[in-house]
Amino acid sequence: MNSSLCISLRFLDPIPQFHGLGDGGEPEWPPSPLRLFQALLSAAANRWRNSHLQNAAFSAMRWLETIQPCVRSPAISPVRFGYRMYVPNNSGDLMTAAWARGGVDTTMAAFRVEKDVRPTNLSSDAVHYLYPLPNGNCPHFELFQAAARSITHLGWGIDMVAANAAIISQADADKLPGVVWRPTSDHSGTPLRVPISGTLDALITKHKNFLNRLSHGAFQPVPPLSAFNTVHYRRASDPATRPFTAFSILKPDASGYRPFDTVRRTREVAAMVRCAAAHSVRNIGWTEDRINSFIHGHGSAKSGQSTSDDRLMFLPIPSITPLKVDNIRRVLLVSPLGSPTREIQNCLNGAELFQEGSTTPVAMLSLIPKTEKTVQNYSKSASIWSTVTPVLLPGYDDPGHLRRKLNNNPGSATQKQLLEKLNSRVFHLLKKSFLQAGFPSELVEQIQMDWREVGFRSGVDLASKYRRPENLNKFPAYHVQVRFPEPVQGPLAVGAGRYRGFGLFAADHD
């Protein structure tokens, strides 16, 4: 059975808080593996100030810097607002100089500087780092245990901790409380700093530079640590963020935008872009099987329907103004994780769009940055999202003909029961839509949803008015507003029509 080296840290504050910040000054959670690595190294250096540090401790740290741990941390309650303090900034010499000049009324208050505090509030006190041991052995366990027990704080100086190390089985690891964070190969989740081969040597060099910063009669700034990597960690409840490319839809002569009506022509724009993508990658040598699967979404089922999510999503995005949802002027191509986005991006930049059966171009595509304002409406992180095109349910919402029974029993006590059954069926299908779109079941169980025929945004039409692909006309359609327990990164599209521009959400203001 696999086992792990478990290094556990318990915050000693009766109301557990963490004040550590990431490279950009934003609150960091969970504490990064690099932060623990530095805390272990500092504890080892304070514990062993002789050759044992150079021989045993450095060897152990070089072994540890090559392993990426999983993290189990307490849940946190987000703090939207911190507070500001005014603290001394090691400028006491300025105050004494003022006294020497006769400024006897000068106080340290005149030399205090601002310090913003925005702690992370924890639901419990323990964080566990689990380093996998495939063969069950840790060659430096006694040293890690001794060093861990010498750690005094993690984060700011006020983040006092007591730590320990143990070797535990996978069964015991699964019983540890808290939220599980696992490293992921894609760029979704939370970026955390991790040590790499060479981090220890870089920290030793940085420490020497710090000790010698005032040598040779001049101040020599200490350069920041650069020998580390940034790895994205994701919780089981975090959806994977799919990579995307954004294009503007221009007139054939590139003289301006070529707008398309959202209600009547979403399906047409998605189809034209899909055909342009197929033509472009065919010219660079893609096989027909790959084009049919990845671009057109044709699968191995008898009906030709795709049985895999390894395909592109073509999402025409309407412009969103302060007044309403407007026409389509841009399109997103959303790729599966690990797919060749740059190859398709280069092929489609400047590609012409043709209506079916026509040889005259009606528009062309032009690559635009992901930071473009309209694109950000669909790609940023938000807790509340609402549809700009209706969600097509992946099934019938009324297989028992409950609506017919409602009409036959107006105002009766049975009506309430029938409405509850109907709503339960729609809610089940909407949750199924999010599951099929790749959202973790843990997250789907926590979301709150409202749905209706009328949109949640000014400018959207009735859900039944949108022209759909012929094979999707049989599915019920609803406008949906969804609220996640925590912000979710876009783009977000769900339902039976998610690969063709339907079920597309835009971020609402929280």
Domain ranges of the chain: 3-81+118-235, 83-117, 244-507
Query: Per-residue pLDDT tens for 24-65?
Result: 777 889 999 999 999 999 999 988 877 777 788 899 999 999
Rounded Cα–Cα distance for residues 504 and 317 (Å): 8
pTM summary value: 0.74
Per-residue pLDDT tens over the stretch 350-402: 999 999 888 999 999 999 999 999 999 999 989 999 999 999 999 877 666 66
Range 4-10 average pLDDT: 96
Q: Which residues contact 13 (CB under 8 A, 6 or more apart)?
A: 125, 158, 159, 160
pLDDT at 136: 82
Q: Pick 412 or 358 by higher pLDDT.
A: 358
What integer is the mean pLDDT of 322-335? 94
Distance CA 423, CA 418 (A): 9
For residue 264 the two structure tokens come to 């009547």
> What mean pLDDT, rounded, does the chain reach?
87
Rounded CA separation 254/252 (Å):
5
**482 by DSSP, 3-state: which?**
strand
Q: Residue 183: which of 258, 130, 261, 123 has the closest Cα?
A: 130
pLDDT at 238: 83
More confident of the two residues 193 and 51: 193
Question: For strand 113-117 and strand 3-11, is the pairing parallel, antiparallel, or unpaired?
Answer: unpaired
- Checking if the pLDDT of 242 tops 90, the result is no
Q: Tell me, what's the pLDDT at 360?
A: 93
Range of weakest confidence among 322-336, 337-351, 363-377? 337-351
Residue 87: count of CB within 10 angstroms of its CB:
9
| Bond before 69 cis per omega within 30 degrees | no
User: Which residues does 331 contact at the CB level (< 8 Å), separation at least 6?
Assistant: 246, 247, 249, 269, 270, 273, 314, 315, 316, 317, 365
Residue 497 to residue 474: CA distance in whole angstroms: 12
Q: Which of 28-37, 274-283, 330-339, 498-507 has the lowest mean pLDDT?
A: 330-339
Residue 364 and residue 253: Cα distance in Å, rounded?
8
pLDDT digits (tens, 9 = 90+) for 141-179: 999 999 999 999 998 889 999 999 999 999 999 999 989
Residue 375: count of CB within 10 angstroms of its CB: 21
Res. 302: pLDDT tops 60: no
pLDDT beyond 60 at 283:
yes
Helix axes 341-348, 262-282, angle to 10 degrees: 100
User: Which amino acid, one-letter code, is at 261?
Assistant: D
pLDDT given at position 442: 86
The number of residues making up the chain comes to: 510
Which residues are CB-contacts of 269 (< 8 A; sequence separation ≥ 6)? 249, 260, 316, 328, 331, 353, 501
Q: With pLDDT > 90 as the criterion, what percentage of the chain qualifies?
A: 53
CB 384, CB 487: distance < 8 Å: no
And the tokens for 119?
């702690």
Residue 446 pLDDT exceeds 80: yes
CATH level 3 topology of 3-81+118-235: Alpha-Beta Plaits (3.30.70)
DSSP 13-50: SSS-EE--B-TTSSBPSSPPHHHHHHHHHHHHHHH--S
**Residue of 127, 129, 142, 132 whose CA lies nearest to 4:** 132
